[in-house]
Amino acid sequence: MLFNLIPIDEDKVIKAVERASRFVVSVNTITLVSDFLFHSMPVSGLGSGIVFSSEGYIVTNNHVISNARKVSVTLFNGRVQEGTIVGSDVLTDVAVVKVPKSDLTAAEFYDSDMLKVGQFVLALGNPFGLAGGPTVTAGVISALKRRIQAQGGPLIEDLIQTDAAINPGNSGGPLVNLEGQVVAMSTAIIPYAQGIGFAITSNTIKRVTDEIIRYGRVIRPWLGINGIDMNRGIAEYYNLAVDFGVLVVSVVSGSPADYAGLNEGDIIVQVDKERVLSLSDLLKQLWKRRAGEEVALRVIRGEREFISKARLAESPIS
């Protein structure tokens, strides 16, 4: 149906799939669960993954490998290799698995900050490791900067929304553009939303994966506030000075924000020289820093505007 509505170069799609197929893998897991008599039973799980580097690093979803006792990876050529979990990050649903180096073709990652709504994308996955390559579905980017509440898990920020079908088992597979470059990694579907799927941006994947490879975990800088996006409705209702930025709802005791003198009701509108329009903007700016770095926050409190300096700490949430 989509191809009837949007003129697409079929040869370009085919070449993109051929290019991407070489870095799409199948991730198979064994997890032990207990029955009602507390007998342990092995349960198999299936997902997909992306070759992050030719050194054997595979990136997939945290929920694909969570609690796994054993992980194996089926490569493009059908070879199965045992994998070891390097680390994972619950807050972004990203995990890294290592397999022995074997001349793997690594994915090329597109700058996801350049993505536009309406851009054509292909979703690939290979949960069964079957011959003939991965499954492919097509669609467009239908929204950017989405946030969803993972089932029983944290709120995941800055996601891409797409109507390209993301089937169960394709979690961890790539969303690619017509050049075969990874723009995102599939993470979730909403079954009651007519096939709307969500994917983690390529820039998030690169940042998180680099940290996991280097440290075995993500060392996330922490300010220590709970905040919400400012908007015109909130500004008018509470008679606030601006309708953009982050409204501080609460400040964690003993946090960098607490030591910097931030209070409930303050509005953060700038980090160093970067304007902050929303909570997503604030998190993005903080993520560019490291724990221990000092940041200058431009804050509006009532009719007063001032600069508050905070030294970021390591997040207590891993």
63 given a catalytic annotation? yes
Among 136, 14, 21, smallest CA distance to 75 is for: 21
Distance CA 231, CA 99 (A): 47
Q: Determine the 3-state secondary structure of 169 from DSSP.
A: coil
39 given a catalytic annotation? no
Which one of 26, 48, 63, 163 is the catalytic residue? 63
Q: Are residues 175 and 183 in contact, defined by beta-carbon separation less than 8 angstroms?
A: yes
Distance CA 161, CA 186 (A): 10
Distance CA 115, CA 178 (A): 13
Which one of 21, 26, 93, 255 is the catalytic residue? 93
Distance CA 279, CA 248 (A): 10
Distance CA 221, CA 224 (A): 10
Residues with active-site annotation: 63, 93, 171
